[in-house]
């Protein structure tokens, strides 16, 4: 059973309860990981949540081997085998791989933000993209956003995304947007969501308190929004025994990714401080009035913007390998 952490709050609350599912993947096993995600969606619904969020690349896992097996070694047969296994385990939305999660969302009336490694048909079906998927409480996939720029060694496994999915969705009283990992450091990507009325920002991460601790509070202060950061965890014990090169990847008992999931309020204060080390269902009830209070003196896309001086153009078209007109 997941461990639930409930921060205390007193006073009148006009808002909704959300959950961060800090879990480990069933590493490189797409079907088992998706089934696990569906189970945690149900657990979040049981806890009374309207939204549940999962980490970056949770299905089928983050390519941590790249930093440990000299991933830039060109034409390396070992790395080619790893990549082929990764492609084989990746998520193809067009083939219905996410249907168990969609069905759980619909059955339990809860929205879901989840990070996947996507293998899309519209880019030929053999390249990978780090994607954020937003599933509505009706079980429909509302948007898929492919990470604009993979970070550092990620570029050895993932392609660069596009602006499709740089959008927000209404969940209860909140307008929710979400970005992948270091996209959250990109000022213009954040500004594109602010401009659409975002007041609950979700950051999805592979799993590290070092990544979430500072940026979560900063973006909350900048946007005067609630910011929820959710990271995965990965332990040496989560790696299957049959994994090639397993002993070279990590040492016994190692915590490879430690989670770091947390929630900050629109004044930058902690609602849930970064949680590390285990699988948790972190929940909090967010009060929309706190956003309105903090935007009294600063609203990045409202009275404190100057569109007559500074303007942002966003291309939200999906870039495909070919437009086939028969």
Catalytic residue IDs? 56, 147, 181
C-alpha to C-alpha distance for 131 and 172, rounded to whole angstroms: 24
The three-class DSSP label of residue 178 is: strand
Stated length of the chain: 326
Gap between the Cα atoms of 29 and 172, Å rounded: 33
The alpha-helical segments, DSSP class H, found in 30-160 are 30-46, 77-89, 99-108
CA-closest candidate to residue 314, choices 194, 139, 170? 194
Q: What 3-state DSSP class applies to 219?
A: helix
Coil vs helix vs strand at 34:
helix
Read off the tokens for 64: 């941590």
**Beta-carbon contacts of residue 192 (< 8 Å; ≥ 6 apart):** 163, 166, 312, 314
CA distances from residue 235 to 61, 240, 259 in whole angstroms, order as listed: 12, 11, 11
Q: Which two tokens stand for residue 207?
A: 């799993």
DSSP 180: E
């Amino acid at each position: 059973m997941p461990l639930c952490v409930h921060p205390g709050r007193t006073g009148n609350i006009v808002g909704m309860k959300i959950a961060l599912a800090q879990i480990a993947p069933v590493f490189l096993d797409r079907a088992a990981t998706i089934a696990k995600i569906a189970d945690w969606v149900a657990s979040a619904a049981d806890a009374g949540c309207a939204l549940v969020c999962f980490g970056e690349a949770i299905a089928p896992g983050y390519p941590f081997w790249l930093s440990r097996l000299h991933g830039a070694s060109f034409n390396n047969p070992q790395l080619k085998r790893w990549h082929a296994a990764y492609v084989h385990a990746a998520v193809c939305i067009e083939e219905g791989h996410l249907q168990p999660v969609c069905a759980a969302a619909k059955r339990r009336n809860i929205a879901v933000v989840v990070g996947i490694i996507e293998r899309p048909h519209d880019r030929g079906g053999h390249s990978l993209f780090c994607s954020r998927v937003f599933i509505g409480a009706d079980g429909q996939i509302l948007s898929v956003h492919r990470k604009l720029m993979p970070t550092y060694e990620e570029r050895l496994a993932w392609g660069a995304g596009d602006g499709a999915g740089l959008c927000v969705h209404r969940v209860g009283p909140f307008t929710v947007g979400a970005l992948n990992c270091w996209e959250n450091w990109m000022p213009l990507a954040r500004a594109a969501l602010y401009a659409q009325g975002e007041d609950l920002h979700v950051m999805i991460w592979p799993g590290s308190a070092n990544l979430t601790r500072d940026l979560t509070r900063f973006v909350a202060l900048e946007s005067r929004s609630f910011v929820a950061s959710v990271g995965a965890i990965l332990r040496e014990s989560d790696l299957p025994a049959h994994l090639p090169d397993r002993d070279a990847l990590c040492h016994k008992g190692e915590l490879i990714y430690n989670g770091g999931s947390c929630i900050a309020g629109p004044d930058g204060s902690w609602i849930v401080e970064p949680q590390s080390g285990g699988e948790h269902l972190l929940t909090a009830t967010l009060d929309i009035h706190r956003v309105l209070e903090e935007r009294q003196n600063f609203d990045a896309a409202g009275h404190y913007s100057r569109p007559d001086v500074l303007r942002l153009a966003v291309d939200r078209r999906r870039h495909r390998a070919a437009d086939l007109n028969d």
